Chains A and B, each alone.
Chain A
Amino acid sequence: MMSVVIVFRNEFEDTIRSLHAGGIVVALWLLVAAIVVFDRAVYAAPLRAFWDVQLGLIILAPVVVSSLCYGAIVDARTSRRLCFHLGNGVTRLEYLCGAFLARWAVVIIATESAILLGYIIAALQYPTPPSFIAVVGFSVASTGFVLAFAGVYVAISVVAQQQSTAMVGVVLVYVALIPFVIGISDFSLSLLVRTIGEQLGAGVTDSTVQFVSNLTPYPAYAGIAKPVFEPIAAQYPRLPEQSSGAPQTLTAHWWFDVLVLSAWMVLPLAIAYWRFSRDDLL
């Protein structure tokens, strides 16, 4: 346990002294602040601004944190920095846990501080500040979402042998989990599931497509944050999915979304460790 703490401390201090960490914090601050300031002129309810913050985080936060995470382990391997700890008796599992938790800590600081900044701006701008409890709930859900991507990116960094490979892997994962799931282009997850269903000769219903989609981080995040926006759902028609009826399916349950997001945080790393524990490290 002490070894994990020492690895965590060294990795965290090395990370926060880099321009990367500062850049990530500033980028998230600017994103949240810009949305909250802009929304003041458009919407009367302060909580509505945080719904747009959610959209902004879904699209941009995975990109912002990628620069912090994709090189986490592969860079330590290629530069042989990990020899410092492993050569002093730290096990591979302890090293991985410490390095991973250090990235998580930076991501938590960046996300939480950005949303706190958004709350302060909203409290100053609006006659009635948004519910603090609601914003805390939103910040926890948002942090979980960003951590899920950080987990996947670090896992890619563990498996990759070169930085360039890790970078390509991170881009592909982002495209697969955000634009592809949202359906920005014609080729989307929905189309893919329906096409596979047709090829297999099985009918694919909307609920099947929805189920597959809900297994990815972004719908899970939206599901977890849904209760936060319930009070304003009737006011804003742009939030139809937030105000739909009582949960009918497994995927409509709040705990299921928590489970999905937790799985994205931990499972990729567990798989990556399996590989890391057997690899040559140099």
Chain B
Amino acid sequence: MTAIQTNGLTKRFKNHVAVDEIDLTVPSGSIYGLVGPNGAGKSTLLELLSGFRSPTAGSATVLGMDPVTERSQLHLGILFTQRTMYRRLSALEHVRSAIALHDSQLDAVELCDRVGLRADTVSRRVGSFSTGQLQRTKLAIALAGSPPLLLLDEPTAGLDPDGVKRFERIVHAERDRGATVVLSSHRVHLLESLCTHVAVVRDGTITSSGPIDSMESFAHAVEPAPAPVYSPSGGAE
């Protein structure tokens, strides 16, 4: 069983190819890590899988559905790095709305507590939140529908060590529930300890992928590609 299958998935922006003919297979029930330097194409890949962007070429199947033309988002939990929330609404209002949209039976207060949002914080406007509090709120929203697939872009960005540990526990619990988790991160140690599978993304392509046991250390993956050195005459050496 595969949760995600892409074939030649490509996204081009004017003169820049962000995702270049990616073939990706994410097994159901796995915790799949995407690792790579900034600008490698991880976020664009997740945006394509979530249906917010249409591919220039190729195709993606998410939980058996086309994410652009079908309503696959009802079965996804999505966390993006950007704010993606209403500044003047509280964390609790966001989480309640997300639960209602998924027609879920979860309790919003309990869910906020699960991600580590304190009781005195949940009623505050998210516009006044720190990065870590925003990240916890976004995680609660992603979990609101108890989705079979979580797409998490840099989910630990801005979290303190306690928040990262809590996040790891949540991901393991979600996997135990039967969910598939796809996450991108710069934190190599986090991916090594958390993921069952890893794909190294570089310059819009996947350079290596597979079960984590079969992969050699991928610490090098987060290092940016060396910048070209230019000679005084203007040509690249």
Binding site for B on A (CB under 8 A): 2-3, 6, 9-10, 13-14, 17-18, 79-81, 83-91, 280-282
**List of A residues within 8 angstroms of B94 by Cβ:** 84
Binding site for A on B (CB under 8 A): 47, 50-54, 71, 73-76, 78, 80, 82-89, 93-94, 97-98, 100-102, 125, 141, 144-145
In angstroms, how far is the closest chain A Cβ from the Cβ of B155?
14
| A3–B73 CB distance below 8 A | no
**List of B residues within 8 angstroms of A81 by Cβ:** 83-86
| B144–A280 CB distance below 8 A | no
New A-B contacts (9) at CB < 8 Å, excluding given A80-B84, A84-B98: A83-B52, A83-B84, A84-B85, A84-B86, A87-B141, A89-B102, A91-B71, A282-B47, A282-B53
**List of B residues within 8 angstroms of A17 by Cβ:** 88, 125
Query: Which among A10, A17, A88, A89 has the highest number of chain B CB atoms within 10 Å?
Result: A88
In angstroms, how far is the closest chain A Cβ from the Cβ of B62?
13
| B73–A14 CB distance below 8 A | no
Secondary structure type dominating chain A contacts = loop
| A281–B74 CB distance below 8 A | no
Knowing A13-B93, A87-B78, A88-B144 are in contact, say whether A79-B53 is a contact too (CB < 8 A): no
| B89–A13 CB distance below 8 A | yes
Knowing A83-B78, A88-B98, A89-B71 are in contact, say whether A281-B53 is a contact too (CB < 8 A): yes
Alpha-carbon gap, A258 to B205, bound state (A)? 56
Knowing A13-B93, A88-B144 are in contact, say whether A80-B82 is a contact too (CB < 8 A): yes
| A281–B144 CB distance below 8 A | no
| B74–A10 CB distance below 8 A | no
Choose from B51, B74, B86, B102 the contact partner of A14 (Cβ within 8 Å): B86
Choose from A6, A14, A80, A83 the contact partner of B100 (Cβ within 8 Å): A6
Knowing A10-B93, A282-B53 are in contact, say whether A90-B101 is a contact too (CB < 8 A): yes
| B82–A88 CB distance below 8 A | no
**List of A residues within 8 angstroms of B89 by Cβ:** 10, 13-14
Alpha-carbon gap, A88 to B89, bound state (A)? 17
Choose from B53, B83, B102 the contact partner of A88 (Cβ within 8 Å): B102
| B88–A84 CB distance below 8 A | no
Closest chain B residue to A282 by CB distance? B52
In angstroms, how far is the closest chain B Cβ from the Cβ of A110?
18
In angstroms, how far is the closest chain A Cβ from the Cβ of B131?
15
Query: Which among B51, B84, B125, B145 has the highest number of chain A CB atoms within 10 Å?
Result: B84
